[in-house]
Structure 1
Amino acid sequence: MNFRTYADMASVVSANLNRIHEQKFDLIVGLPRSGMIPAYMIALRLNLPCTDLLSFVNNTPLKSGYTRNVSKAIKLPQEANRILVVDDSIASGQSLKKDLALVPEALRSRIQTCAIYSDIKRRSDVSFFFETVPFPRVFEWNIFHHEVITNSCFDIDGVLCLDPDNEANDDGEKYLSFINSALPLNIPSRKVHAVVTSRLEKYRGETEKWLEKVGVQYDHLIMLDLPNMQVRQEQNNHAEHKGLFYKNSATELFIESDYRQSIEIAKIANKPVYCVDTNEMIQPGVTYQMRVGSVNVIKTTIKRIVPNKLLVPLRKLINK
């Protein structure tokens, strides 16, 4: 499973700025939604005006920050003589073709097109692209809405919602309160194949209600059938529980929060695991260091020991 992050995109854009700069564009146009991200990256680096496709088609006046004077002094998008239309990726090319059909024919000769990522090495339906990323592939900005999640497994705590802190994790009334009021994190926009969690079977009713409340659709809910938290801690088989289900299912991706468990799940199932805490795709057959004392493990530790009421304001910092 090929995977790229926002940081990867920023790096590849930076490495290819010379290719854009030498074309002397007057305007950058992003294709909503994902194309706006690289479009603004490019425009800001080259100090060029930027707009979205419909604003370009409608010739909506351009805007920029009060402290920034863009290098191309045009007020209307259609005043631009050389225009770069940007998308995050290209595969069949049909989406780009459909978008360009909205542009008045008189303006099309001024346009070049750019995709940051292509699935193949050579193509004629885009002026240029920066990197080949073949299928299967997902990106940080679409992984929770990509069609692959319909054939995926999701953990709950740390993925769909915040982890319980130590105080809430009492296997009693406080834990029930946590389940009922857990703050959602990454809610997939499609039905997932299975929610696979180390929560105990006795909390199935409360967990099902919470999943329905926050809009998580799923075919299966797999829980640990153990009597209590003490037995679960003694067995300490969270990764094995998840990994074996993943291995024996036809699913192609597991989404987990804990870095160590992600590595173990990928090893057991011999299939990729997306680790939310470290924002990386753990690949089977690859040796990973456990990163004791690393920034990524520190992030995970903070999430587990800081009370949720204090963690919420820190989420942006922790996930940065």
Structure 2
Amino acid sequence: MDYRSVADLNADVRRMAWDLPRDVDAVVGISRGGVLAADLLHQTTGRPVLRLDDGTLRTGSVESGATVLALTDALLDGVPESPVTEDDGVEVLTGAVYVGDGVETLPDLWVDRIATPCAFEWRALHPTRLGNACVDIDGVLCRDPTPEENDDGPRYREFLRSVEPRLIPDERVGWLVTCRLEQYRPETEQWLAEHGVEYDELVMWDLPNKAARDEQGGHGEYKAEVYDRVGADIFIESSEQQAVVIAREAGKPVYCFDTNQTIPPGEAADEYGYDSYLVRFAENPRSFLRTAGRHVASKGVDTVTQTAGMFR
């Protein structure tokens, strides 16, 4: 999947600034991403950014005869209709930072071709995308349980029934993907209904109990498998460690709610310090240490001596 971050957008807008015709007097963003691109272009060139009232150009916001660049962040199909027209007494140029590889009618100004499917960091949480998104529950829609609440018993069930909401989406979510166990589906569905969370599918981990889940580990890998299988565009995950694993294993971007950043897909996720052993340890230290202890014991005293020597 072709991916562009906000940093990429900023760099490519600066490239557009180099080729911006001198007679462009002002810029208007014709999409949400276009407004961001227009503001970035203003920082580089000083060209004023025109604002719209109900989708139309404000009367008197630009002089008659001026040249206006109608800018969008990405043009993936046909040229979008501009709110600025020749009838406003201005000359209109069309622009896009990115142009899809299948687009035949090019805008007047553009920077780079982009392969589809593609993903953009600045569009990650756009409400219209949640219908094709995977969203974590604990840490996003509500807080995580405390160690005392997470007893796989009555206190945990009470947490599921009464935990306060943190973020309730305004739009319907495609898939809620959680490491909660399948046996807790009734409490989870009841809480979601009480708080008005709309979704197409609730995916829960089908393991017998918390001990089995802790022993198996691989929370990020489990979520990555779901992400890949359902064909979603974005995964919104609370844990940074799991977000890195999901992005790397699924080869698609993941928005980390805790750090407010998008982890790029595939091997690029390595930039965020991916290490499978560290992630397993962060997910469940006890399980990791038990497994490591059994591994060392099976290898005998020579392995113990060699391992100890690494830390001298």
**Structure 1 residues 196 and 39: alpha-carbon distance in aligned structure 2, compared to 1, 3 A threshold:** same
| Unmatched tracts of structure 1, length 5 or more | 62-75, 302-320
| CA drift at 1:37 | 1.1
What percent identity do the matched residue pairs reach?
28
Match of 1:66 in 2: none
CA distance in 2, matches of 1:47, 1:151: 37
Distance 1:266 1:44, change over 3 A: closer
Q: 1:16-38: CA deviations, max 9, x gaps?
A: 32222x42422221214332111
Residue 103, structure 1, aligned to residue 85, structure 2: yes
Structure 2 CA distance for aligned equivalents of residues 138 and 267 of structure 1: 15
**Mapping for residues 219-230 of structure 1, pairs under 5 Å:** 219-226=200-207, 228-230=209-211
Cα 1:57–1:289 change in 2 (3 A) is closer
1 CA distance for matches of 2:86 and 2:163? 53
**Structure 2 partner of 1:77:** 62
CA distance in 1, matches of 2:141, 2:226: 19
Amino acid of the residue matched to residue 63 of structure 2?
Q
Q: How has the CA–CA distance of structure 1 residues 272 and 58 changed in structure 2, closer, same or farther, with 3 Å as cutoff? A: closer
- Given residue 182 of structure 1, which amino acid in structure 2 is its aligned partner? P
Q: Could you report, residue by residue, the CA deviation over 1:248-296 in whole angstroms, capped at 9, with x for unpaired residues?
A: x34244613434434544666x55352425512322x678266279xxx
Q: How many angstroms does 1:13 deviate by?
A: 1.3
Residue 44 of structure 1 aligns to a residue whose secondary structure is helix
The total of aligned residue pairs comes to: 272
- When residues 135 and 190 of structure 1 are mapped into structure 2, their CA distance, relative to the original with a 3 A threshold, is farther
Partner of 1:311: none
d(CA) in 2 for partners of 1:89, 1:37: 12
User: In 1, are the aligned partners of 2:101 and 2:113 still within 8 Å (CA)?
Assistant: yes
Partner of 1:19: 19
Distance in 1 separating the partners of 2:103 and 2:57: 33
Structure 1 residues 196-238: Cα deviation after superposition (integer angstroms, max 9, x where no partner): 2111234323322333355443332122344543443233232
Matches within 5 A, 1:259-298: 259-265=240-246, 271-276=251-256, 277=259, 278-283=261-266, 288=270, 291=273
Q: TM-score, normalised by structure 2?
A: 0.69
Residue 258 (structure 1) aligns with: 239
Task: Deviation per CA, 1:62-104: give whole Å up to 9, x if none.
Answer: xxxxxxxxxxxxxx3234622211111112234x2x225x624
The yes-or-no answer on 1:91 pairing with 2:76 is: yes
- For 1:225 and 1:146, the matched residues in 2 are separated by 29
**Would you say 1:120 and 2:101 are equivalent positions?**
yes
- What's the counterpart of residue 35 of structure 1? 34
The aligned residue for residue 292 of structure 2 is none
| Whole-angstrom distance in 2 between the partners of 1:126 and 1:250 | 34
Contact 1:151 1:253 in 2 (8 A): yes
* Distance verdict in 2 for CA 1:290–1:87, change over 3 Å: closer
Displacement of 1:10? 1.5
- One-letter amino acid of the counterpart of residue 197, structure 1: T
The 1:161/1:17 distance shift into structure 2, 3 A limit, reads: farther
Give the alignment partner of residue 204 of structure 1, picking from 171, 176, 185.
185
Contact 2:131–2:171, Cα closer than 8 Å, also in 1:
no
Secondary structure of the 2:24 match is: coil
**Cα distance change of structure 1 residues 57 and 239 upon mapping to structure 2, 3 Å threshold:** closer
Q: Structure 2 unaligned segments of length 5 or more: list them.
A: 284-312
The SS at the match of 2:33 is: coil
* Distance in 1 separating the partners of 2:92 and 2:196: 41
Task: Label 1:273 to 1:174 Cα distance change in 2 as closer, same or farther (>3 A).
Answer: same
The equivalent residue for 1:6 is 6
Decide whether aligned partners of structure 1 residues 181 and 210 sit closer, same or farther in structure 2, where only a CA change above 3 A counts: same
Residues 119-158 of structure 1 mapped to structure 2, 5 A cutoff: 119-120=100-101, 123-145=104-126, 150-158=131-139
Matched residue, 1:50: 49
Mean alpha-carbon deviation: is it higher for 209-218 or for 135-144?
209-218
3-state SS in 1 of match to 2:77: coil
- Superposed, which structure 2 residues align to 1:164-175 within 5 Å? 164=145, 166=147, 169=150, 171=152, 173=155
Change (3 A) 1:158 1:3: farther
